[in-house]
Amino acid sequence: MKHLFLLTLTFILVSAAAFAQKSNRTYAITGKSTNNFFWADIKEIDIASGRVLKTIFEADKTPFKTKVINDNEARTQTPINIKPTEFGVAACALDSRHNRLYFAPMHFADIRFLDLESKEASFTVIKKNIIPVGASNVIYLPEENQITRMVIAEDGFGYALTNDANHLIRFSTGKSAVVEDLGNLVDAASNNGLSIHNKCTSWGGDMLADAFGKLVIISANHNVFTVEVNSRVATFTGTITGLPSNYTTNGAVVNNDGDIVLSSANVFEGLYKCNFKDLKAIGIPNVDKTFNASDLANGNFLLQKEADATNKFDLTKFTLPSFDGASDARVFPNPVTGSQFNVFFEGQKPGRYNMVFTDLAGRTISSKIITISRGNQVESCNLLSKTAKGTYLLKVLNERKQLAFSEKIIVQ
């Protein structure tokens, strides 16, 4: 029986690892050959060949619908002349879980998404004017405040960053959208003067997420920074080499081999790829006419294979920690037979906690930020509609991202 359990567990872990990088869908914000610098069209592309699979949205042709969410209430807007992608987009991110393409127009600090499930082009604005434009007679954001980097991270949240890195914005992707400005990034002491805020070296580009919870920023000038979300410290990692001198790195995604795939908004040189370890870029042969792309987005995480290898046979991850009597927690009902379970906190220190619901491979399915303010408190968690029956883990992390406690959960 013990051997049967280990075989079953191994199958679950290997299946989860295969699922982790299953998304081969990549979306690109592109310009036109007749208007290179109007990046407002959305295409699905094959990053292995650079081929355009289909056009999802053309700013000057595709009919669309738009709705705006304010104070958690949605209202359908009267169709307006301004297109959803406005005067161009430089930041987008794929939410594979809900099949949405999030993005931010360059000249407005809005978070929007395109519903990829819809047969028609259906857009939703979840938050407008995250960064105020300032004076009443000013319409557009200045260049430093334009959002040019975006990604959906391993914790399930979306992250967006302005050119000057003074606004790291986090947004939730569930039904009740929460958008918050976490503040400015901080240069690591080891950067030796190469600042994440410098216009010449570090503006523009794109943002990736790794499978260990970190953000990776690739600036338009080929420089790479790794960011710890909680501390907001940006550490210079290196510079991508092997690119043409006029090739700005504006879009970045991870392919199924774990390599970084790059696009340029300014030239029609096609796609390049590089390994995260050596950052040496090589061109990807193109089978079609090339395009310029201001941003790329897919559902893959950087270092996913390394995370899978770490988690694969670490059975100690599934051993519940022992708790003392002053710091206990209970999940009920467990097994879970409905769409919700509750977590009872008793004796936990006051503060902010992150309840992370994962599969047995450690891959985050959903997460929820809560605040504990009293001795005894009950918090509820809703299961996603597509959650399969099986065994899962609930991990509760404190503000320092340290494990406060964890518990196995059976979904029936």
Phi and psi for 331 in degrees, rounded to 5?
Answer: -100, 130
pLDDT in the model for residue 11: 40
The residue ranges of every structural domain in the chain are: 21-309, 315-411
Of the ranges 126-135, 164-173, 380-389, 398-407, the best mean pLDDT one: 164-173
Q: Annotate the chain with three-state secondary structure.
A: CHHHHHHHHHHHHHHHHHHHCCCCCEEEEECECCECCCCCEEEEEECCCCEEEEEEECCCCCCEEEEEEECCEEEECCCCCCCCCCCCEEEEEEECCCCEEEEEECCCCCEEEEECCCCCEEEEEEECCCCCCCCCCCCCCCHHHCEEEEEECCCCCEEEEECCCCCEEEECCCCCCCEEECCCCEECHHHCCCCCCCHHHHCCCEEEEECCCCEEEECCCCEEEEEECCCCEEEEEEECECCCCCCCCCEEEECCCCCEEEECCCCCCCCEEECCCCCEEEECCCCCCCCCEEEEECCCCECHHHHHHHHCCCHHHHCCCCCCCCCEEEEECCCECCCEEEEEEECCCCEEEEEEEECCCCCEEEEEEEEECCCEEEEEEECCCCCCCEEEEEEEECCCCCEEEEEEEEEC
- Report pLDDT for 366: 87
11-24 average pLDDT score: 42
Model pTM score: 0.71
pLDDT at 382: 84
Which comes out higher in pLDDT, residue 2 or 200? 200
pLDDT computed for residue 368 by the predictor: 87
pLDDT at 13: 40
- Quote the mean pLDDT of the chain: 83
pLDDT value, residue 274: 97
pLDDT reported for residue 35: 63
* pLDDT for the residue 70: 60
> Which pLDDT belongs to residue 311?
56
Topology of the domain covering 21-309:
Neuraminidase (2.120.10)
Least confident of 242-246, 293-297, 305-309, 352-356: 305-309
Question: What is the pLDDT, as a whole number, of residue 63?
Answer: 93
Structure confidence at residue 374 (pLDDT): 66
Question: What confidence score (pLDDT) does residue 272 get?
Answer: 97
Q: What does the pLDDT look like over 272-293, one tens digit per residue?
A: 999 999 999 999 998 777 889 9
pLDDT in the model for residue 152: 95
Q: Which pLDDT does position 310 carry in this prediction? A: 64
Which residues are registered as beta bridge partners of 101? 94, 114
**pLDDT above 70 for 8:** no
Q: Identify the pLDDT of residue 138.
A: 64
- State the average pLDDT over residues 193-204: 96
Does position 409 have pLDDT exceeding 60, yes or no?
A: yes
| Domain 315-411, CATH among 3.30.465.10, 3.30.1330.60, 1.40.20.10, 2.60.40.1930 | 2.60.40.1930
Lowest average pLDDT, out of 48-62, 100-114, 194-208, 306-320, goes to: 306-320
| pLDDT of the residue at 135 | 59
What pLDDT score was predicted for residue 80?
A: 45
Report the pLDDT averaged over residues 334-344. Answer: 84
Q: What is the pLDDT of residues 66-101, one digit of tens each?
A: 988 864 433 334 344 568 998 889 999 999 888 999
pLDDT value, residue 108: 86
Q: Does 12 have pLDDT greater than 50?
A: no
pLDDT tens digit sequence for 220-252: 999 999 999 989 999 999 999 999 989 999 999
pLDDT digits (tens, 9 = 90+) for 346-355: 777 888 888 8
pLDDT score for 405:
84
**Amino acid 207: pLDDT:** 98
Q: What is the mean pLDDT of residues 163-176?
A: 91
